[in-house]
Amino acid sequence: MLNLPLVTMLFVGVNLDFFVILLFLLQKYRFKDTLVGYILGMLSVFFISSLLGQTIQTFVPEWAIGLLGLIPIYMGIKGEDDDEVQANHQYKGILSVLFIYIASCGADNIAVYVPVLATMSLHAVIITAIYFIILTIISITLAYYFGKLSFIQKFFQRWGEHATRIIYILIGLFVMIDTGLFTHILKWLL
């Protein structure tokens, strides 16, 4: 069964920083081009992550997959030194948004997606991909309308990184709990 709160938190956590970038991209490119580029970028990263996750699930015991939860926890503690990605003038619309998404979110999103997707069945991964497309459409629509409000831009610029860090740590802990890693460690110690 799909854990809707977890996958929602996963999507929000890994895309929160990109939401701020979306605010700027929507000022430069058409809504439709930005939407298509964002969906293609998200699906590319999601596909790579699910392929890695399903491969790991086949060869590694479930409790050991819980160790992958350390990756988002580390990312949440470490933080990032993200410089805002600027659109390259040689690309337009869809390709610009796609490349910006992959450049700014690709490695981080894969690192956070893989531990969660490694615990899911193929059916749940497919449902999650469809759900992520819906969340992508919602988030870009929100960015479009929120981009018109200056106090929203200021809020995300000030608190976006902190919120992302907290969400990464919570995702990592959930992966460790859900896979039974802590239970396995306790049994091993006792």
Rounded Cα gap, residues 178 and 137, in angstroms: 29
CA distance 62 to 57: 7
Judged by phi (left if over 0) then psi (alpha if -120 to 50, else beta), residue 84 lies in beta
- Going 81 to 51 to 59 to 177, the CA torsion angle's sign is positive
Intra-chain end-to-end CA distance of the chain, in Å: 31
CB 139 within 8 A of CB 128: no
Q: What is the pLDDT of residue 57?
A: 67
Per-residue pLDDT tens listing for the chain (190 residues): 678 888 898 888 888 878 877 887 887 788 999 999 999 989 988 888 888 877 876 777 777 777 777 877 887 788 655 443 343 433 467 887 887 777 666 667 787 888 888 888 889 889 999 999 999 999 999 999 987 788 876 776 787 678 767 877 887 787 788 778 899 999 989 8
Spans of all domains in the chain: 4-189
What pLDDT is recorded for position 89? 39
What pTM was computed for the model? 0.66
Rounded Cα distance, 116 and 98, in Å: 23
Which runs of consecutive H residues, i.e. helices, occur in the chain?
4-28, 31-59, 62-65, 70-78, 93-117, 122-146, 150-178, 181-189
